[in-house]
Structure 1
Amino acid sequence: MKSPCILCASAMLLASLQPVSAEVTLQLPSDVELLTVNGQKPLSTAPVTLSNGLNQIAFRYNAQYRKQANSVRYQSDVLIVRFNETDQELQLKLPNIDSAKAAKQFDESPSLSLLDKHNQAIAFDQDRLVKNGLQIGRNFEQEILLYNQGQHPASLAIAAVQTIPQASLGTNTEALPAATIVTSTAVTVNTTIKQSATPDSPTQAEISHMLDYWYHLADDATKAKFKAKISGK
């Protein structure tokens, strides 16, 4: 029979051989609106748990600052960050936006950093996901899929299956492939995109942003009517 000391030593040895972590966690600021993680809608944001290796997130920065007596809501472009890390605890850092000048500076040159648990900067690739025109009801999964199919600074090669309604194919169906497939050894994500003329329902963050935007464009009389309406007077 083995002595307790030998058993204890064996248990300690086995424990030391086990990996401390087998994943990457990413902590995001509270004013970050996470839109996609590796091309998919995020399951959680506090924190984001990722597989080791190459990962990509798309997000917006929703800040708020004072301008004279008014509160101004700021929303950035959709930003894309791609990084390649193993067994790390990461934290996304964004500059404080407390004025129209700071908001403009961030729009022109978004400065952000990715730090590990030792507060050391981690290398990453950065880009924007730009869409002109109406911003409400955007399909970010579809947009990021199209982005990733191009050669862009923060593209992530994923396996994607795209389905197109038969009615949109016309008579010459042989000219179009049944599926579009992009392969990668880093990450594989299966995505089906539904083509539709109707946009996705806007998020509460988008609705709040647009309410604030139109309110500040209104004159005093319209603002007074709006306040009376929501207060039930």
Structure 2
Amino acid sequence: MKNLVLLISTLFISTNVLAQVTIEIPDTIQVLAVNAEKPQVEGGLFSSTKTLNLADGENQVVFRYSPYFSQGNDRVIVDSEAVITKFDAANQTFTFELPEYKNANQAEKVIGEWQVKLLNQQGQPLALKQDILRKDGLQIGRDYVLESEAYNRTTGIAALSTGIVATQALPAADVKVDANTAEEMLHFWYQKADAETRAKFKQYVNQQ
């Protein structure tokens, strides 16, 4: 049974890896919350580009654009507002299309107008809804997860749909399968698998 569960997990992981939404995150973009949860962004600490992997379907992500500029020996960072977005996508990779500013002064004047724009691999923009995630008063130490939860209880245009519990795509190491549901999952994933995967499964069973 343990081996069977492991096989089912492998089938699940293979399908999950192939069917997910990937967003490439440049170093000027901060991911503040994902589906009202703490974001799981993959990539090294000093990587210029990281990735955010999401499950197919409806997702909600809070972004901030933070371009930086050199002024003498100093590095000046200009932050946009926290922008909460909602979109529905499947099995695609997206990149940001970001405005460029000549200097920090120009950025400070117009960055308040910044809107999220994501392009797929064909250069087509992703249809998304977005809103400013506002908070009055002190901005230091904001809890964007709690703010997203509060936003989702409103009628905001980027609020998650009622009854939908969206999650981030789990890395392979985090996938867990309850042995009690093995048979049910086996039938489900066997039907989802392609002919080659089914053949491998039959070969595995015959060898047991």
Q: Could you state the TM-score of these two structures normalised by the residue count of structure 2? A: 0.62
Given that residues 58 and 79 in structure 1 are in contact (C-alpha distance below 8 angstroms), is that contact kept between their aligned partners in structure 2? yes
Q: Does 1:85 align with 2:82?
A: no
Percent identity for Structure 1 against Structure 2: 32
Q: Does 1:55 align with 2:59?
A: yes
Which AA in structure 1 matches 2:34? V
Partner-residue secondary structure (3-state), 1:28: strand
1:188 to partner: Cα distance: 4.5
1:89 to partner: Cα distance: 0.9
Which AA in structure 2 matches 1:38? N
Question: Quick one: which of 92, 104, 108 aligns to 1:103?
Answer: 108
- 2:31 aligns with 34
Runs of 4+ in 1 over 6 A off after TM superposition: none
- Rounded Cα–Cα distance in structure 2 between residues aligned with 1:141 and 1:27: 21
- 1:11 aligns with none
Which AA in structure 1 matches 2:154? G
Q: Specify which structure has the bigger relative contact order, considering alpha-carbon pairs within 8 angstroms and separated by 6 or more residues.
A: 2
- Rounded Cα–Cα distance in structure 2 between residues aligned with 1:144 and 1:94: 24
1:20 to partner: Cα distance: 9.0
Aligned length: 145
- 1:165 aligns with none
1:92 to partner: Cα distance: 2.2
Larger Rg: 1
- 2:40 aligns with 43
Q: Could you state the TM-score of these two structures normalised by the residue count of structure 1? A: 0.56
Distance 1:152 1:95, change over 3 A: same
Given that residues 29 and 93 in structure 1 are in contact (C-alpha distance below 8 angstroms), is that contact kept between their aligned partners in structure 2? no
Which AA in structure 1 matches 2:135? K
Could you list the per-position Cα deviations for residues 144-193 of structure 1 after superposition, in whole angstroms to 9, with x for gaps in the alignment?
10011101121113xxxxxxxxxxxxxxxxxxxxxxxxx42x4346xxxx
1:76 to partner: Cα distance: 1.3
- 1:187 aligns with 165
Partner-residue secondary structure (3-state), 1:82: strand
1:26 to partner: Cα distance: 0.9
- Rounded Cα–Cα distance in structure 2 between residues aligned with 1:69 and 1:23: 42
Distance 1:68 1:89, change over 3 A: same
